[in-house]
């Protein structure tokens, strides 16, 4: 190719990918994409954007049937107003049009069984249907679950510590931790509950090993879900010294628990979403198939790429001069070897690269020009560096996370004519190369990010378990959570609402959370059987029953007071917790001729011995303020009390309505 002739956009893209890969295989650290940063359309959809993301993320998680890098699926949700169906668009990584047919067929059969069950869900459905959905999920995903539990080898066939040994190691480490942290009541409560649940899971592991039947595997997943619902596991395992249990073992155990538990949570989420939103009962799988010419390749022998010419082109575009020899020296590689690596990778990319599933979804949606296009793409793994970069340039789609790793065997669908988005993408890659070269020369050393975890879990909405306790997912910093209002029984139990419990921690100890919600610092009590139809006033709309701004509680001492309707209590401080009680009667209960009922309450900061007894008996709900985000509602039990814990502080709160 003559030097004056510029390569095609596809060749330029391959060259820039090869050069960027030479500079570093992980150009960026893992990152999260804000869901509210794009001008994504909201009107006309049945599903909210958060609901669409949760649904797509759940289905993407279930679509991971095997461990390994081949045929990675991606999912998006498309509402079809003409047919009243909810189309689940499904794609897998492909080099050729016919790739992945077997995987897609297996996924279709598995999802159709699940969707058939969801189609039978009624507004007043029963938990038995949720269990059937769970059974279908276990059947569909059994091989992947067994691999996660280390009963069968992974794709790399690397030796791994058996799950039973890993759990027993954690139990032994936490028992050691209990002896060293006897004064930390919150940690003591958490550790004892973990040990109890972990021992139950170990028994379930033994039961599965003796009788390998689907029902036993389902029981085992249930056990891991119970272990995950202990809450605060990251903090608990993080408190174990490395000499007692290695950091890799702790990290692996947390990963196993969270992902195996997700299968139970997925069944609950799908069932309850279908119960709440009738359109979700009408889901169907649609395979994404791009035209055959999209997979057309450019012959690699039509030109001769070189590292100096590519760097010179970027030099000219950005009016800068980088010396290839100096760059190679800092990369600790010779110029000839660097050029050979660059040429080999460029040609390999042009010859063997795959079109990733997310890119297929994007181009498919562009071709179809849907009236209500999908707004979220989710894969079994976080988006790679190149997919994330292209989707961000496209600007109409949200993908939750990017793991930051660059796969050099990546390409865009073939286009006979240069497109504007291809050219914009190449400019973006050139900008990243320029920044990388500038940083390299400035630091005089290669920037190396650690190999990332490529798969993380989206946080699902809160839900209430059959026993009435809350399933509390652990949110990562920056995650936007949507609370799910539980079903309220028709008994005379009094519901209460925990508003932004993370904010119960003292201001100096709170972890910053990127959320659009305005933070509050209160626990709201709403004396209504229907918590979905009332709105609790904000603290600014309520008046306090005391002129004192805050009261410091003493361990073991009970404070009993009352609060009038539409008023708030003082702010109580107990160790790491700050609590305020709000009482709103709701509009329907306040009339000129009626007398509002006051709310009597008592708050006790439990001493260590009493806190231990609470753990053993577990007669009332226990909430970890550090594991909650957003707002949740819950019925009081027959004892009219509940417990809140945070970093060693345990509060017992009793509530009772009384006549004014």
pLDDT at position 512 is: 32
**What is the model's pLDDT at position 530?**
37
**Tens digits of per-residue pLDDT, 226-279?**
999 887 788 889 889 999 999 999 999 999 999 999 999 999 999 999 999 999
Q: Percent of the chain, pLDDT > 70?
A: 77
Tens of pLDDT, residue by residue over 339-354, are: 999 999 999 999 999 9
Q: In angstroms, rounded to a whole number, what is the distance separating the alpha carbons of residues 50 and 67?
A: 28
- Strand pairing report for 631-635 and 31-32: unpaired
- Backbone torsion region of residue 404, taken as left when φ is above 0, otherwise alpha when ψ lies between -120 and 50, otherwise beta: left
Task: Give the pLDDT of residue 241.
Answer: 93
In the numeric block, which tokens belong to residue 360? 């297929």
Instruction: Quote the tokens at residue 426.
Output: 């190449």
Closest by Cα among 585, 581, 537 to 561: 581
Q: What predicted TM-score, i.e. pTM, was given to this entire model?
A: 0.73
CB 478 within 8 A of CB 30: no
Best CA proximity match to 426, nearest among 386, 378, 366: 386
Q: For residue 586, what are its two tokens? A: 């709701």
Task: Kindly tell me the burial class for residue 176, based on how many C-beta atoms sit within 10 Å of its own C-beta (0-12, 13-18, 19 or more).
Answer: middle
Q: What is the DSSP string of 415-435?
A: -SS--HHHHHHHHHHHHHHHH
pLDDT of amino acid 526? 32
Q: In 3-state terms, the chain is what percent helix, strand and coil (to 5)? A: 45, 15, 40
Alpha-carbon distance values, 589 to 436, 494, 529 (Å): 64, 14, 11
Contact 582, 542 (CB under 8 A): yes
Q: Residue written as tokens 């010294």?
A: 241
Give the largest CA-CA distance in the chain.
92
Alpha helices (H) in 292-333, listed in sequence order: 307-318, 324-330
Domains, the chain, ordered by start: 9-97+289-443 (no CATH), 136-278 (1.20.120), 551-585+596-657 (no CATH)
CA gap 464, 470 in Å, rounded: 5
Quick: pLDDT tens for 168-224. Answer: 999 999 999 888 765 666 677 788 889 999 999 999 999 999 999 999 999 999 999
Residue 86, SS3 per DSSP: strand
pLDDT above 70: residue 580: yes
Residue 129 CB neighbour total at 10 angstroms: 18
Average model confidence (pLDDT) across the chain:
80
- Geometric angle at alpha carbon 653, from 532 and 268, rounded to 5°: 45
Q: What is the pLDDT of residues 370-409, one digit of tens each?
A: 999 999 999 999 999 999 999 999 999 999 999 999 999 9
Q: Residue 604 is inside which H or E element, if any?
A: strand 597-605
């Amino acid at each position: 190719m003559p030097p004056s002739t510029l390569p095609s956009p596809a060749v330029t893209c391959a060259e820039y990918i090869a050069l960027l890969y030479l500079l570093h295989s992980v150009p960026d650290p893992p990152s999260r994409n804000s869901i509210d940063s794009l001008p994504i359309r909201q009107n006309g959809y049945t599903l909210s954007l958060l609901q669409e993301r949760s649904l797509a993320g759940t289905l993407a998680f279930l679509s991971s049937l095997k461990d390994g890098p081949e045929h990675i699926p991606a999912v998006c949700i498309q509402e079809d107003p003409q047919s009243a169906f909810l189309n689940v668009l499904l794609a897998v990584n492909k080099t050729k049009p016919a790739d992945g047919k077997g995987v897609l067929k297996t996924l279709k059969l598995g999802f159709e069984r699940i969707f058939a069950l969801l189609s039978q869900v009624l507004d007043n459905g029963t938990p038995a249907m949720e269990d059937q959905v769970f059974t279908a999920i276990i059947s569909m995903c059994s091989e992947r679950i067994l691999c996660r539990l280390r009963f069968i080898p992974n794709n790399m066939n690397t030796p791994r510590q058996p799950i039973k040994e890993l759990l027993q190691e954690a139990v032994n480490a936490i028992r050691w931790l209990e002896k060293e942290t006897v004064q930390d009541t919150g940690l003591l409560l958490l550790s004892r509950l973990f040990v109890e649940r972990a021992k139950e899971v170990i028994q379930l592991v033994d039961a599965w090993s003796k009788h390998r039947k689907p029902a036993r595997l389902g029981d085992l997943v249930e056990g891991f879900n119970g272990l995950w619902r202990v809450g605060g596991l990251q903090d608990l395992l993080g408190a174990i010294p490395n000499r007692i249990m290695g950091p890799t073992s702790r990290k692996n155990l947390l990963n196993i628990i969270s992902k195996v538990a997700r299968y139970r949570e997925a069944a609950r989420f799908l069932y309850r979403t279908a119960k709440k939103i009738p359109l979700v009962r009408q889901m169907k799988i649609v395979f994404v198939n791009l035209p055959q010419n999209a997979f057309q390749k450019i012959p690699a022998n039509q030109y001769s790429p070189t590292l100096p010419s590519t760097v010179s082109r970027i030099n000219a575009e950005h009016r800068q001069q980088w010396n290839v020899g100096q760059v190679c020296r800092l990369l600790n590689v010779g110029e000839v070897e660097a050029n050979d690596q660059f040429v080999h990778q460029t040609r390999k990319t042009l010859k063997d690269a795959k079109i990733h599933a997310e890119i297929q979804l994007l181009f498919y949606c562009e071709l179809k020009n849907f009236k209500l296009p999908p707004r979220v793409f989710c894969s079994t793994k976080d988006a790679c560096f190149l997919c994330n970069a292209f989707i961000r340039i496209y600007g109409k789609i949200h993908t939750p996370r990017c793991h930051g790793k660059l796969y050099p065997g990546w390409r865009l669908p073939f286009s006979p004519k240069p497109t504007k988005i291809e050219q914009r993408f190449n400019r973006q890659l050139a900008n990243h190369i320029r920044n990388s070269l500038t940083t390299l020369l400035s630091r005089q050393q290669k920037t190396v990010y650690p190999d990332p975890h490529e798969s993380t879990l989206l946080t699902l909405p809160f839900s209430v378990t059959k026993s009435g306790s809350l399933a509390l997912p652990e949110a990562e910093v920056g995650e936007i959570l949507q609370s799910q209002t539980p079903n309220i029984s028709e008994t005379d139990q009094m519901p209460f609402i925990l508003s932004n419990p993370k904010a119960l921690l003292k201001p100096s100890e709170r972890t910053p959370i990127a959320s659009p919600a305005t933070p509050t610092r209160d626990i709201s009590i709403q004396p209504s059987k229907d918590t979905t139809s009332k709105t609790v006033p904000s603290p600014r709309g309520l008046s306090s029953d005391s002129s004192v701004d805050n009261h410091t509680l003493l361990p073991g001492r009970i404070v009993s007071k009352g609060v009038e309707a539409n008023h708030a209590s003082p702010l109580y401080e107990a160790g790491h917790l700050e609590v305020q009680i709000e009482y709103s009667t709701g509009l329907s209960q306040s009339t000129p001729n009626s007398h509002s009922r006051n709310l009597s309450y008592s708050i006790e900061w439990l001493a260590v011995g009493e806190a231990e007894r609470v753990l053993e008996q577990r007669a009332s709900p226990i909430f970890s303020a550090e594991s909650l985000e957003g707002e949740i509602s819950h019925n009081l039990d027959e004892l009219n009390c509940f417990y809140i814990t945070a970093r060693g502080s345990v509060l017992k709160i009793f509530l009772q309505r009384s006549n004014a």
